[in-house]
Amino acid sequence: MISTALARDLRDAGLVWHPASGDRFQIDRPEFDSDIFTVSDLTIEPHHYPTGTVLGFNGTTEWALDSVAVDDALWLPREDQLRDLLRASFRRLERTDDAYIVAIVVDHVEHRFESVSAPEAYGLAVLALLDRVRA
């Protein structure tokens, strides 16, 4: 799983989340820092309204939270979702003794992103592509 800090950087760089079953997220408020939720057809469902998307908590009894706006949620993309976002630029994932390296090609130049976890390395590569688009 990617770090909260990288998830925020991805969001701030323009990564848009369209909640789907199986997606993980945090509520982006300090009191929920350690809680990770999963969108599920049975317990947490996205409800789409003209005013925005709301994540509805069905049957939640442990605390008083019926729903949260998707803007107040922080998506924690999975490794496969991050790899899919790289699309044709993705070349390979390498494993060393103590790191993972994601290689992508942009404008015929290879770029490498290293981290202690594969999802984090993929996330760094996606962030670089988003930063490139914004520049």
Last residue of a domain, one of 54, 76, 98: 76
Q: Which of 40, 41, 27, 30 is nearest to 76 (CA)?
A: 27
Last residue of a domain, one of 57, 76, 95: 76
- Return the percent helix, strand and coil in the chain, to nearest 5: 30, 35, 35
Please check whether residues 67 and 10 belong to one and the same domain.
yes
Please check whether residues 40 and 89 belong to one and the same domain.
no
Please check whether residues 46 and 18 belong to one and the same domain.
yes
* Per-position DSSP letters for 73-124, written without gaps between them: EEEE--HHHHHHHHGGGEEEEEE-SS-EEEEEEETTEEEEEEESSHHHHHHH
What's the domain range around 71? Answer: 4-76
Please check whether residues 18 and 62 belong to one and the same domain.
yes
Supply the pTM of this predicted model.
0.83
Supply the pLDDT for residue 60: 54
> Tokens 């317990």 label which residue?
43
**pLDDT per position in the chain (135 positions), as tens?**
899 999 999 999 999 999 998 999 998 888 877 889 888 776 777 878 888 888 877 665 445 556 678 888 999 999 999 999 999 999 999 999 999 999 999 999 999 999 999 999 999 999 999 998 887
Please check whether residues 47 and 86 belong to one and the same domain.
no
Q: Which of 39, 72, 78, 33 is nearest to 56 (CA)?
A: 39
